[in-house]
Amino acid sequence: MCGRFVAASSPTLLAERFHVDEQRATDGDADYNVAPRTDVLVVRDRPRDDATTRVLSRLRWGLVPSWAKDPSIGDRLINARADTVVTKPAFRRSFTKRRCIIPADGFYEWRRLPAEPGSSARRKEPTFIRRRDGEPLAFAGLWSVWKVPEPLAGTIGDDDGWLRSCTIVTTHANQLLAPIHDRMPVVLPEAAWDRWLDPRPELTTADVDALTDLLVPAPDDWFEAYVVSPRVNQVIDHDSGLVHPVGDSALP
């Protein structure tokens, strides 16, 4: 799974990197500990007349399907498993019509450690994972829209009365990351961005197969991983010190 990630690159930089036509997000503070319910930067292709416009904007992390009774369901839908996005009701419509890319500068996972002598409690060690070349990661994502009911108007969602939210698609871990966690985000290569973002509303069986073929672990040699401070466990901490290595902590 992916429950925390780093969003340090500016919207201006990401707009250039992801070939964005319309930037709706303004620059803000770098966030080294993005948690669910945060408004995160998302890249989407939106149909406009006979063309497609690539947009960078902010959506709430934690998918709220259009049929949800309240937005709290999003807390359980921060990730979407690659093997169920086509069939699970919470994700099926978004997979068909609303795919996106969620840029990130890295993500955290917690590696289980043996219990200390004399204790039965299992420990977890926070680990930071990023690209070796320093490029932003392109998480495969899905997004949805939910009509905000009158009692919640003005407290959640956009000014137009709709809540736009997203989720990160995950797959089984590659060999490098498997000792840390059994799952990882789907990280799309640049060659797959256009295909994943294609906003056509109707998909053939061949289209679905081509999209699901993208939902595989990225190559081991893309990544490096190392142990970081347990301060990342606290959602109130967001500074760059969270991604500093702890001692000689590089993992294979």
Residues with catalytic function: 2, 109
Largest CA distance in the chain: 68
Q: 80 - beta bridge partners? A: 169
Q: 91 - beta bridge partners? A: none
Cα separations in angstroms, 156 against 28, 43, 151, 166, 226? 20, 21, 10, 15, 36
User: Which one-letter amino acid corresponds to residue 232?
Assistant: V
**Contact by Cβ (8 Å): 209, 242:** no
User: DSSP states of 160-216 as a string?
Assistant: TSEEEEEEEEEEE--TTTTTT-SEEE-B--GGGHHHHH---S---HHHHHHHHTT-S
Give dist(CA 123, CA 113) in Å, integer: 5
